[in-house]
Structure 1
Amino acid sequence: MMTVLILAGLIAILLTGVPIFAGLGLASLILMLLTEGNVNSAADTVFAKLNNGLLTAIPMFAFMAHVMIRAKVVEDLYNAANAMVGHLRGGLGIATILSCTIFAAISGSSVATALTIGSTAIPQMERFNYKPSYSYGVIAAGGTLGILIPPSGPLILYAIVTEASIGALFLAGLVPGVMMALIFAVWASVSADFGATVARKPWEGMAAVWARARQSIWALLMPPVVLGGIYLGIFTATEAASIGCLYALVIAVVVYRNFGLRDLWITALETVRTTSMLFMILAAAALFGHAVTIIRLPIEIVEGVAAMGMTPTYFVLAVMALILILGMFLETISIILITTPIVFPVMITLGIDPIWYGILLMINLEMALITPPVGMNLFVIKGIAKAPLSQVIRGSAPYAALMLIGLLIVFVFPPIATWLPEYAGFGR
């Protein structure tokens, strides 16, 4: 009952429009005041959470993404994908999914992926007579891959809250991310002609494919450089972020030659804005985790689960169902930082693998990005296309069902998420 009341109160605060960090912080301070009679431990709690070297990965990955976006590498990526698969049935849809997959491995942001790829892909699909709802659904769904395919900002936040290995989580997200991209691509091909006569893009030939691939090779090498170094043990995830920043700057300044001092200033400013917001939310989440620990909420949940005889399987199913509902009303960061401090101690007690759970959480949160009424990607696409929200929702609905199927696949077959990090030595 206590859990329900706390979650309901917190959701009620957030639904008033209060910023996430303010809502979390206010709820936490009220709990601390009611239980301890003061909030003297708040400062020490926040400092202890933020005094973590892993946090440097967040601004560096954000900076890397902003540099690549500002250097306008996306057009080359989309043109290369288009040249490879554009002539197939639903080829532009498949090319969009492929572009989103690659760009997700650069930006680490679902909203940035949907916004950047969507601006390029929507006009192309309109030109070849694809249904508007089809185009919007492909981009909204493809954009969600930014939350799962590393380097993912939400995965980093989850790692910091749970103290799980960022490297292990990054590797764990690769196979499920590619699996979801393939599922999306198959549906994009199958559904392309539903209710519309789509013009096929002519095959440009291998020469054109190689030419487009050469143009985008520097951007295509970004994920192998960043993730390959982690996989091979050359550097840590934090060091990989700094390598990624340097690589992005070299591409922007030396290869594309469209990145000057003014661009550097704007990119740095955008990075500071993004990471400051995340750090404020993380500080509030630290207070929330401290507050629920004080009132012994995780212990009470463990005792309740034990009393009900609930197995780890049923517990994960129950949590996933709760997060699916929360995803309709809250955005991804809020869900991670509200639920994880409560759920994580119970997971450890029940012997649930935090890496596997983290990937299930990310796939579930992908659905949150395209489920109304608060699906961020839905509003991004609406803004780009100036389209009715109902049309965007209609196009995205099949992909939400596909994500649910993907979630069930990873739930039933955990090695899909855990095999690669274990093979790399993270599980030993």
Structure 2
Amino acid sequence: MLPITLILIGLVLLLLTGMPIFAGLSLAGGVLLLGEPGAIDALSDIIFSKVSMYALVAIPLFAFMAHVMIRGKVVDDLYGTAYTLTRHLPGGVGIATIIACMIFSAICGSSVATALTIGAVAIPQMIRYGYEPKAAYGLVAAGGTLGILLPPSGPMILYGVATDTSISGLFMSGVLPGLLLALLFMLHTAYSQRHGLRQPRASLKETGVAIYRSGWALLLPLLVLGGMYLGIFTATEASAIGALLAIIVAALIYRSIAWRDLWDCALDASRTSAMLFMILGGASVFGYALTNLMIPQQIVKLVLDMQIGPYGFLLAMMAMLFVLGMFLESIAIILITSPIVMPVMIQLGINPIWYGVLLVINLEVALITPPVGMNLFTIKAVTHAPIGQIIQGALPFVLLMIIGMTLVILFPQLALWLPGTMVNK
């Protein structure tokens, strides 16, 4: 156990110096392989075999779909529609914010983009309706985290590639836990704002107009997810279909995006994807080094000797991931830990899809906990509020996420039922 502990501590310290993640992973893996004859010569083949996997095509295509929908302003009416439907409820404006975050997450798959886009619209509105600023900040920061749990999710794609797990199954597994977390957020908001300002219930005409205005933004994720669920296409094919539909909606139906803008969307998607692929390449070097040193096998033996069982292992992993999330980005955590824990999960009979959902929920918690909580700094960039005030507003949602994670641990079918009912799963 001592070698892997020292290796992980060394890697974390290396990344904390500010070194890019891909460079830190490559350097750590390269150093570990220096004493192995022929290992360095094999690195180019190892990296190419990992980054050339067919499933990774989904990352740039889903990113392109999101950029087209955002730049084409197709999602601009989401918040207005959600508010029209919920304004008569206690905490209606906050509940509308969470619903808008859910739908936007199903389009962009990014927590930071969700918090940034929805926060710019929703935070002033919540404060106007009597929310304490810290409550508004915390709600948007937490609502934004749904971006990596509800499909399509970039971290789930990377986890699926790293562990050879069905990406379509992972996407479906995040739906019910994502809705569960959103429900917990809504209940908390309704209770905490029960004495706040409320508006009259929307008329049937207002409701119809609001749904019509945001209809395409609502329909696109339903078509993409529905096609995967029914077995009509795979996750990779779904990303291509989603990108094509986004172009049709934004350029031909809304006519809100020029053909030149599509080029800019492609460039933005390429930059994001290139960064992820570089990290994946570095992680493949690090994972190969660990495998070469028999580290995963040593951990399997240690866990089996300790006889802690599946639930004991899961609790230990959740605690470790919580600590890592305070210092490392979610992509690094996935790619560093997955090659190590996968052999243990196989031995303990832990379903990798179930673990994948728990992993992502833990990463969501990391997004709103200091010192590296990306959504906290996103809200600060939007509002220029003191970071301490934002952290204070996010703390209740950390507890709600831990409750949601506990429920998924106790009731695995929350994550496994929907993937189990898929056609051609």
TM-score by length of 1: 0.97
Aligned to 1:7: 8
Which residue number corresponds to residue 19 of structure 2? 18
Q: CA deviation at 1:37?
A: 7.0
- Counterpart of 1:226 (choices 220, 224, 227) is 224
Amino acid at match of 1:414: P
SS, match of residue 77 in structure 2: helix
For the 8 Å contact 2:51–2:281, the answer to whether it is kept is yes
What do residues 359-409 of structure 1 show as CA deviations (whole Å, max 9, x unaligned)? 010111110000001000000000001100011101100000000000000
Shift of 1:126: 2.2
- In structure 2, what residue type is equivalent to 1:2? P
Task: Map Cα deviations across residues 184-242 of structure 1 (whole Å, 9 max, x no partner).
Answer: 1111111126xxx7332333322111111000001100111000001111111111101
2:198 is the counterpart of 1:213: no
8 Å contact from structure 1 (residues 327, 368) kept in 2: yes
Partner residue, 1:203: 201
Are 2:69 and 1:68 equivalent residues in the alignment? Answer: yes
Aligned to 1:359: 357
Counterpart of 2:47?
46
Bigger mean CA offset, 124-133 vs 165-174: 124-133
1:75 and 1:120 in contact (8 A); partners too:
no
Question: Which residue is 1:300 aligned to?
Answer: 298
Match of 1:260 in 2: 258
Residue 94 (structure 1) aligned with residue 85 (structure 2): no
- Number of equivalenced pairs: 424
Give 1:305 deviation, angstroms.
1.1
The CA distance in 1 between the partners of 2:422 and 2:39, in whole Å, is 46
- Matching residue's letter, 2:28: A
Match of 1:290 among 288, 291, 296: 288
CA RMSD, 1 decimal: 1.3
Instruction: Confirm whether residue 248 of structure 1 aligns to residue 249 of structure 2.
Output: no
Q: How does 1:22-171 map to 2 (within 5 A)?
A: 22-36=23-37, 39-171=40-172
Return the letter of the residue paired with 1:22. A
SS of corresponding position for 1:34 = coil
2:344 equivalent to 1:346: yes
**What is the alpha-carbon distance in structure 1 between the residues aligned to residue 397 and residue 243 of structure 2?**
33
Q: Which residue of 2 aligns with 1:385?
A: 383
DSSP-derived class of the 1:40 partner:
helix
Contact 1:168 1:426 in 2 (8 A): no
Asked if structure 1 preserves the Cα contact closer than 8 Å seen for 2:26 and 2:283, the reply is yes
Moved over 6 A (4+): none
Unaligned runs of 5+ in 1: none
- Shift of residue 316, structure 1, vs aligned partner: 1.3
Letter in 1 for 2:88: H
Instruction: Work out the percentage of aligned pairs sharing the same amino acid.
Output: 54
Corresponding position of 2:325: 327
1:82 & 1:94 partners in 2: Cα distance?
A: 8
Matches within 5 A, 1:412-423: 412-423=410-421
Find the aligned partners of 1:426 and 1:289 in 2 and give their Cα distance: 31
**2 CA distance for matches of 1:29 and 1:391?**
42
In the alignment, residue 401 of structure 1 is paired with which amino acid? L
User: Equivalents in 2 of 1:410, 1:228: separation in Å?
Assistant: 23
Distance change in 2, residues 1:100/1:17 (3 Å): same
Q: Name structure 2 gaps, 5 residues minimum.
A: none
What letter is aligned with 1:130? Y
